[in-house]
Structure 1
């Protein structure tokens, strides 16, 4: 699984970083970003990061609780969104 955040919709509440701090982090601009495996923030629009299997449930909870409805989780194999505003 991979995750990305639409910063245009991010409200900066930080709920995602509370649920899954190994995957999400607020940057100095007050918006949430995903982190790669090395802990580096991915700033590019639509940048994805892998979801560690141990963090999957926390990431799903982040999607459900996000007030901006801006977190997208997709399958890495085919790009299908499985959690988030565009999930089937």
Structure 2
């Protein structure tokens, strides 16, 4: 699983960072980011999916590995 935040959509609610702080960080302006190349930690897929669903701006994008 790969995850990223669409910065064009992110409004800085921070819900994703509250749900999955091991994956999402807030930048200096309060917008969520996933550091480039950061893999989703083992066993954290459910939290990342929850963060995507909970995002009010629908800015969390998940790509499943094939």
TM-score above 0.5: yes
**Distance in 2 (alpha carbons) for counterparts of 1:53 and 1:63:** 17
**Distance in 2 (alpha carbons) for counterparts of 1:11 and 1:70:** 8
Provide the residue aligned with 1:50 in structure 2.
39
**Distance in 2 (alpha carbons) for counterparts of 1:49 and 1:75:** 15
Q: Helix, strand or coil: the match of 1:76?
A: coil
Larger radius of gyration: 1
Deviation (angstroms), 1:22: 0.5
Structure 2: tracts of 5 or more residues without a match: none
Provide the residue aligned with 1:82 in structure 2.
none
1:31-70 equivalences under 5 Å are: 31-34=31-34, 41-42=35-36, 49-70=38-59
Higher relative contact order (CA 8 A, sep 6+): 2
**Distance in 2 (alpha carbons) for counterparts of 1:75 and 1:54:** 14
Deviation (angstroms), 1:56: 0.7
- Give TM-score scaled by structure 2 length: 0.88
Deviation (angstroms), 1:76: 3.3
Q: Displaced runs of 4+ in structure 1, greater than 6 A?
A: none
Structure 2 residue 1 is matched with structure 1 residue 12:
no
Give the structure with the higher percent strand. 1
